[in-house]
Each structure stands twice: as structure tokens, then as C-alpha cells.
Amino acid sequence: MKKLRAVLCIVLALSMVLVFAACSKDGGSDTGTDSGKSGGANIVKEDATTGSAGKPSSSAGTSSGSTSTDSGSTETAAPAPDTADIPADQLPDPNIDSTALHMFSNLDEYFNRPHEIEPGSSVRLVATNDVPAYTPWNATAEVWLLPNIYEGLLWSYMGKSDDIRPLIAESYTVSDDYLTWTFKIREGIKFTDGTVCDAPAIAKAYDFYKEVSPASFNNVHWESWEATGDYEFVAHLSAPCSYFANTLTRMYVLSPTAMEQYGPNDNRAAIGTAPYYVSSYTTGVEFVFTANPDYYYYERMPVIETVHFSIIADATTKLMAMANGDIDGYAFSALESYYYLMEHDFDGTMLVSNGNCNPLFLSAKTVPEFMHFEVRKAISRFIDFEAINNLMYDNMGLVQTSLWSVGSSGEVPFDGYYYDPDEGLELMAQAGVDPNSMNFPAKIIDSSGDFFVTIQGQLNKVGINMEVQPLEPEANFTFLKNGDWTITAGNSGYADSAPYGPWTFILLPEHLIKECWQDLYDPDLYAKMVDEYNGMTSAPTWDEMLVHCHQLTKYEQEDFGGLNGIQAPYFAAFDKSLKNIVITTENHCHLVWYMYY
């Protein structure tokens, strides 16, 4: 893999040498990277424990004078904002470095950033894909777009599932039976079309929402709602839902006036109350966001007036655009691009974090040997994830200690995952299974090919023949749904804000992609897992839900039906003139309202 990286770097160099020769920049401080490379970039690497770029040198609103930047230079910090008249829930958390879900280029810049639009300011970023229909129900997965132009009654502060704050709502109360949620709506909020966002408007907005996406409401038992006053909105649930508050952070409120005029599936109806709105969209070319001049919430106040998102899918094209100065920043996953920028004296800010969890699941339905507990456990002894991390990612990835992402709400660290092939062979002998008798295919999509080829080599060392067979991406879903796979990798929809998510896809026979096969070889354990699943889905509170969710994870891990994986490295590069870059590390969405010059 390192040889491959070198070859790709040479190819990139040949194609881009003229670009860099024409637009080379003055080098900054000579800062060593984590891999021993050097260059002028200010590199900020996420800490695996805290997820932060380091603790702030002072608390919010107190820093002034000179501050030391991460690259070692000294600059004058922005004057501390006067927050005396700002409600406490709209102020930044002075302990923000405890989050594992957001990446900051510089925490001093975060705490001391301006909170008003800079007239004439603009920045050009990258949208990795086109979104022809960008109303929320038509673009549910477009996380780079949706949080910047829409918002809900509540929001998740820095992505944390345990810090849900009022947003369009000023406050809310929940009945003792968890079936009635009453929201006090902030006065003075307007949609970006100039219409008022009050309780009656919100009720109409959700009428449209349910018309186009009924599952969004049924999945959380949301039965009905009503405006009981100009600024009071009441939601009625048919059964408790422990993640209702969290879901409301993604149940965006759109202008009912615009939806009445254009219909809820027309882009002209994509009108919210967020820090930005889409002022221009050219299919296949770009989105243009413009700052909302009437925005109301201090912590999310936009600064850059205009944000261009160029639609670029190809990795090399994005890299060339960054090198040529056509864009000011972008996020990427290619290790080769990271090294290329570092080796050509990139002098901007480089953020280094990790991608999503990537657990392995073993199918006892198609590989009879996996019916034996000792064989499943032995597989975990034969796979050296540390070696894979070194080979594929130069040790820049993060080896999981659980099925789920390190530091996330669903993670249950497990000390039973480790590499020991001798112990693995002993376990195989205990089960009466000869490794040389195991011969099965692993049909995989192309994007995970290198990962599985590496595992294939490790299993071959102990005599197990796992043949890697590439699968066309368009056939992957049907293949998984039919249960024809043997070993698969992937997180099945895991998110820190929805740790219950995978279990609703992988556990029960009727689920979309069944990945838990205890019903075949340990019915008693499977019954316990179903009990925990039922407790999880019926829990009235988030904390109670997590108890059942964690127990499900423990059962699956200790049974070795699912194995840990590696969170691949992820990067983001930005021009040195940009400050306060904030990226969600779980989905790598750039929160553009925090950024400034």
C-alpha cells in the first residue's frame, strides 16, 4: 500500500507540477506531521480520547491580546465579545474540548470569533455531489448541505446527543407519560422568505412534511400536533420515544407559505430559518449560500457573507482545484492527497480526524464453521488490525475497541478483541475444526477491496482460504438483504446521535440486513438480545435506551458475532487566511457559520 501511495504521488506530481509552480505560496512554520513528513501546514490532529484540538487557553469571553497558534506563530486575538445580554443557552460551552464529534482548527478562534456578517466576504468550498432536489425529505443524506440551510425546534450542540438545546423553540416541557411535548416558540423569528415562523406556521410546515415523508413521523410515534397559541406548539406521541428530542434536531421546519406556493418538492420551497439560505444553484456546477441577515441565535450567527460550494466529485480534480487556488478548502479521505499536499509545502490548515466505524460481521448462515463460538473467536485472533492500520493508513487510522466509533454514545469497549494467532489455532482445535478445511468467498464492493485483501492474506497464513470476489456496487444492497454474504464490513447506519440505529436494521429476521445469527446457534442468547431490543425501542428516555443498547452491543461482542474494525483517517485542508474551521467528525460536514477571515 505504501508503494501504491508512492506511485500515485508520482502520477499526481506529473499532472500538477505546473499548477504548483504557478501558484506556490510562502512557506509557514516548518511543522512535522504525525508521519514524519514536514511542510508549512498548520496541522491539527484530533485526539482520540477527547476529540479536540486541545484545550482553550482561556474561557469564553475572557481572552485578549496575543495568543499562540497551533503552528507556533503569534497573532492578535479578536476582542472578546460582549456576551452580557446573551441568553446562557446561546453561549459556547467553555468545556467544548470534551466533545469527540467536532474538529476545531483553533479553539481560541472559536471562543473569540466575531458574531456578525462581514460584508463582501466570500469563500469557495466543495460539494462532493450534486443535489438536484434539496428539500430535506428529498436529500436526507446530504449532511454537508442540510444543517447549514435548515434547522429544527431543537439542535444538538456540537453534535452531542446528551446536549440537546432549544433553537426555534425557546424552551420545552414533557409530560410525565412522555406523550405530550409542549414547545414555547421564540418570538421574532422569520423564514428567509420574510414570513413569520410562529407556532401556526410550524404546525402547517409539519403538515406538509408528513405528507411527503410519513415514515419520519411514524418511526418516532409522532401522532399529531397543534398550535395552541401564537407561540405555543404541542406534539402528541402515541407511545414514548427515547430519541424524539434528538430526532427533532433533524426534523427541519420550512416555510409553509413557500410550500403552499410551489409545492413541498420544489426547490423554491427550500426556505428555512437557518444561518444560510440557497441563493443560487446551477445543476452540476455549484451551490451558493448567502448569510441570513435576520438570523437570531448568537452561537450560530453567520460571519462569511457568501459561501460557494463547487460540485466536484473526482478526488484528483478537487486536489488540483485546491492547489490552483480555485477553492479555499475541502474535506477528503485519500491518504495520497494528504501526503501530496504535505510534500509540496501546503501552508494552510490541515485537519486530521477519523472516519466512521467499520465493524466486521460473520454469517453463520453461509459459513457453517461460524456456528462454533470458538471459530468466531479465533477469527478475531487471526486478524491483526494494528498491522492493517499500518499497512493501509500509515497508522493514521483508529483501531476500534468496540463495534462502534471510539468515544461515541454506543461504544462499549471490549478487551476480548486482540491479535494472537497461536491462541486462535488452539480455539479452532477445541472446536474440532481444521483451518485448512475452511474455504469460503467474501463478496465485497470495490471500495473495501484493499481491506478485505489484507484480511485474506492474514487468514491464509493460518490455512483459512477466503476468496475475495468483487461485487458491483448496484448489486450490493440486494446481496446483503438476501443474506448471501459470508463476512461483511460496515456500520449499518450507526451514528452517535442514533446508536440504536444499527439494531433496527440487523437483528430481527424481518430487518433490512440481518447480521446477527444467534437464532441459528444460540436461541437462548438470541431471546435475550430480542428482549433488550424491545426494551431499547420502548424506552421512554435516552439514558434508559442506552442501557439496553449497550447490553445488545455486549452480547454481540462477547459472542464474537461482530468484530471491531478500523476508523480510516479523514482530512480537511483550508487556506491559511480562514479561521475557526469547524467540521463534524462523524459525517465531515463543514459548519460554515463558524468560519471567518
Name 457's Cβ contacts closer than 8 Å, sequence gap at least 6: none
Closest CA to 447 of 495, 403, 392, 494: 392
Kindly report, as residue ranges, where domains of CATH 3.10.105.10 are found in the chain. Answer: 360-567
Number of neighbours of residue 485 by Cβ within 10 angstroms: 23
Name 310's Cβ contacts closer than 8 Å, sequence gap at least 6: 124, 125, 126, 127, 285, 286, 321, 326, 327
The whole-number pLDDT of residue 55 equals 36
Using a 10 angstrom Cβ sphere, with 0-12 exposed, 13-18 middle and 19 or more buried, the burial of residue 418 is: middle
The CA distance from 145 to 287, in Å, is 9
Residue 466 bridge partners (DSSP): 440
**Domain range 151-268, its CATH number among 3.90.76.10, 2.40.110.10, 3.90.230.10, 3.40.50.2020:** 3.90.76.10
| Per-residue pLDDT in tens (0 to 9) along the chain, 597 residues | 443 444 334 333 333 333 333 333 333 333 333 333 334 678 887 654 444 444 333 333 333 322 333 333 334 444 456 677 888 888 888 777 656 678 888 888 999 999 999 999 999 999 988 999 999 999 988 888 999 999 999 999 888 888 899 999 999 999 999 999 999 999 999 999 999 999 999 999 999 999 999 999 999 999 999 999 999 999 999 999 999 999 999 999 999 999 999 999 999 999 999 999 999 999 999 999 999 999 999 999 999 999 999 999 999 999 999 988 899 999 999 999 999 999 988 999 999 988 889 999 999 999 999 999 999 999 999 999 999 999 999 999 999 999 999 888 999 999 999 999 999 999 999 999 999 999 999 988 656 678 999 999 999 999 999 999 887 766 666 667 777 889 988 888 888 888 999 999 999 998 888 999 999 999 999 999 999 999 999 999 999 999 999 999 999 999 999 999 999 999 999 999 999 999 887 778 899 999 999
The residue assigned the cell 429476521 is 509
The CA distance from 362 to 379, in Å, is 9
Q: Are 314 and 340 in contact (CB under 8 A)?
A: no
Q: The domain 360-567: what is its CATH number?
A: 3.10.105.10
State the DSSP string of 132-176.
Answer: S--SGGG-TT-TTTHHHH---SEEEGGG-TT-EEESSEEEEEE-T
Closest CA to 202 of 221, 175, 183: 183
The CA distance from 108 to 308, in Å, is 26
Kindly report, as residue ranges, where domains of CATH 3.40.190.10 are found in the chain. Answer: 2-25+39-59+102-130+276-354+570-594
Closest CA to 549 of 594, 509, 591, 497: 497
The CA distance from 320 to 314, in Å, is 10
Name 589's Cβ contacts closer than 8 Å, sequence gap at least 6: 143, 144, 147, 148, 583
Q: 185-206 b/e with 16+ CB inside 10 Å = b? A: bbeebbbbeeeebbbbbbbbbb
What grid cell was written down for 240? 414514548
- Stated as kind and residue range, the H or E segment containing 309 is strand 304-311
The CA distance from 206 to 202, in Å, is 6
- Stated as kind and residue range, the H or E segment containing 289 is strand 286-291
Name 329's Cβ contacts closer than 8 Å, sequence gap at least 6: 123, 125, 126, 322, 348, 572, 573, 574, 575, 578, 581, 590
Q: CA angle, corner 139, sides to 137 and 145, nearest 5?
A: 120
What grid cell was written down for 29? 512554520
CATH architecture label of 2-25+39-59+102-130+276-354+570-594: 3-Layer(aba) Sandwich (3.40)
Q: Are 278 and 307 in contact (CB under 8 A)?
A: no
The whole-number pLDDT of residue 21 equals 32
Helix or strand or coil: residue 214?
helix
The whole-number pLDDT of residue 477 equals 66
Closest CA to 60 of 87, 102, 96, 101: 96
Closest CA to 398 of 351, 430, 352: 352
Closest CA to 227 of 273, 184, 195, 165: 184
Kindly report, as residue ranges, where domains of CATH 3.90.76.10 are found in the chain. Answer: 151-268
The whole-number pLDDT of residue 475 equals 61
Helix or strand or coil: residue 411?
coil
Number of neighbours of residue 218 by Cβ within 10 angstroms: 12
The CA distance from 89 to 95, in Å, is 14
